[in-house]
C-alpha cells in the first residue's frame, strides 16, 4: 500500500499518536477502493479539493479515480509532505 501524508497532517504535534490511536475530527485517513493507497490529511485540504473538483468525499473509502484526482490536486498545490 502506498501511503501519502499532507504537510499539514505531518506538522500536527501528535501525528504519530494519531496513527496508532485514531484521528481527531479535523483529520482524515482515506483509502481507495482497491486498498492500494492510504492518505492522511486535514479536513480543510479535503474541502479545498471538493470545492475545486465538485466531488464530495463522505466516507473514508473512496473511488480509485477520485483518490487519483485528490492525490494529483494535493501534489499540484504542493500540499503533500513528499511531492510525487
Per residue in 8-30, pLDDT tens? Answer: 998 887 756 655 565 555 889 99
27 Cα distance to chain centroid: 9
Residues 39-75: tens digit of each pLDDT:
999 999 999 999 999 999 999 999 999 999 999 999 9
Note the pTM of the prediction, 2 decimals.
0.86
Cell of residue 11, nine digits: 506538522
Q: How many residues does the chain have?
A: 84
Q: Which CA distances in Å does 56 have to 24, 35, 59?
A: 20, 19, 9
In terms of DSSP H, where are the helices of the chain? 7-11, 15-21, 43-53, 64-76
Give Dmax (Cα) for the chain: 32
Amino acid at each position: 500500500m502506498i501511503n501519502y501524508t499532507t504537510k499539514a497532517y505531518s506538522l500536527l504535534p501528535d501525528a504519530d499518536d494519531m496513527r496508532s490511536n485514531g484521528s481527531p475530527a479535523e483529520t482524515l485517513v482515506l483509502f481507495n477502493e482497491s486498498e492500494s493507497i492510504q492518505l492522511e490529511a486535514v479536513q480543510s485540504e479535503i474541502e479545498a479539493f471538493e470545492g475545486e473538483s465538485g466531488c464530495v468525499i463522505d466516507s473514508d473509502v473512496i473511488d480509485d479515480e477520485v483518490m487519483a484526482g485528490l492525490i494529483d490536486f494535493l501534489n499540484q498545490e504542493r500540499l503533500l509532505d513528499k511531492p510525487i
